[in-house]
Structure 1
Amino acid sequence: MSKDHHLEHLKHSLPKDVVTYQTSFYTVALEGWRRGLKLNFYNNKRGSVPPLAYQYSLSDGENEYLFTCARGSKTSDKAIDLAENKSTAYKYMKRNNVPVPENKTFTFSKTSIEKMCKHGEKIGYPLVVKPTDRGSGKGVYTNITSRKRLEECISKIRDEFKAKEVIIEQYFAGGVDYRFYVIKDEVIAVTKSYSSNVIGDGVNNIEDLISERNKDIRKNVATKNRSIVIDNDLKRFLEEQHKSLEFIPENGERVFVRRHGTHLGDRLNVDCTQSVDPKFKKYAIKALNAIPGLPTGSIDMVINEEKNEGIVNEINTKGEIMMHVFPFEGRAIDVPKHLLDFYFPNSDSRNEKFYFEFKPIKDLLFNGYADQISIPMIPKEIQYQKNFTIKGKHLGPRYLRLLKKQAVKLYLIGSINPVSKKWLEIKAIGSQEKINQFEKVINTLGTKKSKTEDVTATQFEEFEGNSNISFEIISDV
């Protein structure tokens, strides 16, 4: 995995629970908040899938925009409807001279599966079938080469996905899936998706390489649920390549262990922003601009790298950007920065010292305890740190809660680490004035049982680390 697969300012700023799809909206919200914008989260009760369950707004006092995933409210509702209906999107792109596969859309209530299959055979095998209203590869069946398989796939889309319409289209042979993130007339980032694979070192066999590969997969917040599972399907695919789990690939040799077009949710993304042919970037820009009212979005393309040919097969308005910000291989692209530059061109430079936890927000919204949560503004003035050691008697849960309450009242950031009921370590971050007030509290606060016997403190230092903005008790004693 590349050393630059992570952006420096995010290395220690992602909460542990922010993984996979959540990284797409968290990184945008964090970027805006770090620029001094007002951040609110909302419970999106209309959200039918996890990426849509939460919405958030960013405001600079004059302009406010609502975001879903990485899609902001400069995108019109009509644009969303046009782009997310694959049949309509194809028509608009074709008018704008964007290469799309030959295709035909059918309505189940008006056309029999037999007639659909006849038209599909006119297009010619191999074929792809998919519902018009699904994304992320759901309900997509590729490389269909027989009438029987075509009937099966169309029936599944109707019965299992409850789709009202289906698209039958030409399969683009020998293609690799690419995703382009576009803002207006500029391609910001490009990744390609490889099916599960390993890279040889000339020493280890495929089984051992899979084990090592899985360690890297789990380390990456965007791919950590995409581990390679050794099953009969994997073994058969290796056999088709005249290989087995015991085969030792040469150093640098990439061996695919899943067939292209299968296990779509387990694919691994490789950044290729700098290396992709500029003509495909032009296709992506034309595809985005084919949809009126769509200033940002992701363009999915299938590219035959040997022939240097490609077609656009989907527009994603939500802008799921995790594969660009956290690619499995290659250079990370700071898409959130580009997006916020577009929405708030006059916003401040970001303060990279702080971040916010997301789990408490998610729990309150998901469980219905709140419809809206406002995140405290990021500190603008210089923040200082002072550490305290408290020794005494009966410094238990009640005393800890009282101490935390006073720290929160003073808008301090930091933590209390209760080593024992006789010993506490405290980190306080804030203005010197507020920390001095807190120090007075430490020296005077007590309960009927608790008693402070000795307090030592470090000197003030300008805070240069990385911290979430809460004041926490690390654990009760």
Structure 2
Amino acid sequence: MHNTSFNFVRNDIEHYPISPNAWALVALEAWRRGLQVTIGQDWKFILSSTDKSITFKLSRLDGTDEAKKSSQICSNKTKTKLYLDANNVPTPLGYNFKQEINLTTILQCAQKLGYPVCLKANGWSKGKGVYPFITNEDELKKNFNLLVNHLNCEDICLEKHILGDDYRVYVVGNKVVSALRRIPANILGNGKNSINELIIQKNSQRKKNPFLKNSLVNIDSEIQDKLNSSGYSLETILDNGKCFYLRNKSNASAGGDTIDVTDSISEKHKAIAIRAISSIPGLQHGGVDILTEDIKSDTSNTTVLEINLAAELGVNIYPFSGTARLIYKDIIDFYFPDTTKVETNSINNWYFNLKTPLGTLKNKIAKTIEIPPRPAPQPHTTAKS
């Protein structure tokens, strides 16, 4: 373990970048509350109080047999569905195919499920290898060729595509702490600007967001295909008020919008998300991906697509619109409840220097680095008149 005098800084975000997954904000909150923070390689960090230590990798738990088991389950979409089904959590009907993947069999299974269907890689993340809303056999053949023959995926799922809006619901313990609607990358016509110009304008908005600035709308073959199938081109001028979806999948990493709806989620949807997390042995916090027609209604049908135990926190902390949800505080509240009494309002603009230790670890100068404790806040004094 390497301990060095990395100075803390006040209100200097340049020393505290929005790291992958925003995991560092969990470590920062722990440091502000007086916990010991040790940073390791491979995005691991250890938080310690006087009576316990908890290891995280990115935003998920690590270092225990239970954490390893939950990770193995959630990294496999098919295995996750088995646990959800066993706990009466609604999930889409589907099939899993491995190794010698036969297109003929997949086409037959699609007929049994009924179109539309969704084809996706079983163990990949961030929307990679996901082809939703496939409406016919020709589309299925095309996407199968992309997934299996071009991306070389050897473990795929075919599911019934469920209609509804896409939500990421974040659960910590037995509490829903955030709900976010995820909308596919889109533009809104104004009768003046071309589609290409509207995409540039949309990216200008995203660049102002500390998290979404790293996930711009990139014009690729998927967007080009979407334009072509709609009879549009990049030079098309959309009518005023016309919304055009550039993709089918709604991931923020693919340019999707993220809208906070935490205050609107119904008790039914909260209960389903909490039950989904508790269905996975050893899992106590994570993101639940839900499809529903109305997140506000207790009568709306709900389907859980998957669970992400290393869900990105940045989408909730920096949504495209709506209230920021500081999930890193909820995580520390849950695992270190005694620290909820620590008053941090006066030091909420304090950061420890993260860039230097990350550089030290990257260069393999040390395997772990212990961050010095935060200084004690100076007592507030009132100036004499």
TM-score normalized by structure 2? 0.82
SS at match of 2:337: coil
Alignment partners' CA distance in 2, 1:204 and 1:64: 58
Structure-1 residue corresponding to 2:378:
382
Q: Unaligned stretches of 5+ in structure 2?
A: 1-9
Alignment partners' CA distance in 1, 2:145 and 2:237: 40
Offset at residue 177 of structure 1 (A): 1.6
Q: Give the conservation status (yes or no) of the 8 Å contact 1:104–1:167.
A: yes
Alignment partners' CA distance in 2, 1:238 and 1:145: 13
1:217 corresponds to 2:206: yes
SS at match of 1:40: strand
Q: Give the conservation status (yes or no) of the 8 Å contact 1:303–1:309.
A: yes
Structure-1 residue corresponding to 2:25:
27
Q: Give the conservation status (yes or no) of the 8 Å contact 2:11–2:351.
A: no
Alignment counterpart, residue 90 of structure 2, candidates 99, 114, 118 = 99
Q: Give the conservation status (yes or no) of the 8 Å contact 2:61–2:67.
A: no
Select the structure of larger CA radius of gyration. Answer: 1
Structure-2 residue corresponding to 1:317:
309
1:352 corresponds to 2:348: yes
Structure-1 residue corresponding to 2:78:
87
Alignment partners' CA distance in 2, 1:280 and 1:186: 12
Offset at residue 346 of structure 1 (A): 0.6
SS at match of 1:214: helix
Structure-1 residue corresponding to 2:5:
none
Number of aligned pairs?
A: 360
Considering Cα pairs closer than 8 Å and 6+ residues apart, tell me whether 1 or 2 has the greater RCO: 2
What are the equivalent positions in structure 2 for 1:331-410 lying under 5 Å apart? Answer: 331-347=323-339, 348-350=342-344, 351-382=347-378
Alignment partners' CA distance in 2, 1:346 and 1:100: 37
Alignment counterpart, residue 259 of structure 2, candidates 270, 276, 279 = 270
Structure-2 residue corresponding to 1:402:
none
Q: Give the conservation status (yes or no) of the 8 Å contact 1:96–1:290.
A: yes
SS at match of 2:281: coil
Alignment partners' CA distance in 2, 1:282 and 1:379: 41
Q: Give the conservation status (yes or no) of the 8 Å contact 1:300–1:313.
A: yes
Alignment counterpart, residue 143 of structure 1, candidates 126, 133, 140 = 133
Structure-2 residue corresponding to 1:55:
44
Structure-1 residue corresponding to 2:4:
none
- Letter of the 1:261 counterpart: K
Structure-2 residue corresponding to 1:191:
180
Q: Unaligned stretches of 5+ in structure 1?
A: 1-10, 45-53, 385-460, 463-477
Offset at residue 104 of structure 1 (A): 1.1
Offset at residue 273 of structure 1 (A): 0.5
Structure-2 residue corresponding to 1:179:
168
Structure-2 residue corresponding to 1:423:
none
Alignment partners' CA distance in 1, 2:144 and 2:199: 35
1:72 corresponds to 2:61: yes
When residues 246 and 203 of structure 1 are mapped into structure 2, their CA distance, relative to the original with a 3 A threshold, is closer
TM-score normalized by structure 1? 0.68
When residues 259 and 133 of structure 1 are mapped into structure 2, their CA distance, relative to the original with a 3 A threshold, is closer
- Letter of the 1:310 counterpart: T
Offset at residue 30 of structure 1 (A): 0.6
Q: Give the conservation status (yes or no) of the 8 Å contact 1:238–1:257.
A: no
Offset at residue 331 of structure 1 (A): 0.3
Q: Give the conservation status (yes or no) of the 8 Å contact 2:132–2:248.
A: no
Deviation digits for residues 166-223 of structure 1 (CA, Å, limit 9, x no counterpart): 21100113x22210100122111010111223467x7974666544432221011110
Offset at residue 59 of structure 1 (A): 0.6
- Letter of the 1:259 counterpart: R
Q: Give the conservation status (yes or no) of the 8 Å contact 1:288–1:296.
A: yes
1:256 corresponds to 2:244: yes
Alignment partners' CA distance in 2, 1:281 and 1:156: 36
Alignment partners' CA distance in 1, 2:139 and 2:180: 31
**Percent sequence identity over aligned pairs:** 27
When residues 238 and 193 of structure 1 are mapped into structure 2, their CA distance, relative to the original with a 3 A threshold, is farther
Structure-2 residue corresponding to 1:282:
271
Offset at residue 95 of structure 1 (A): 1.7
When residues 56 and 196 of structure 1 are mapped into structure 2, their CA distance, relative to the original with a 3 A threshold, is same
Alignment partners' CA distance in 2, 1:16 and 1:248: 45
Q: Give the conservation status (yes or no) of the 8 Å contact 2:22–2:314.
A: yes
- Letter of the 2:134 counterpart: I
Q: Which stretch of the first structure deviates more once superposed, 120-129 or 222-231?
A: 222-231
1:329 corresponds to 2:321: yes
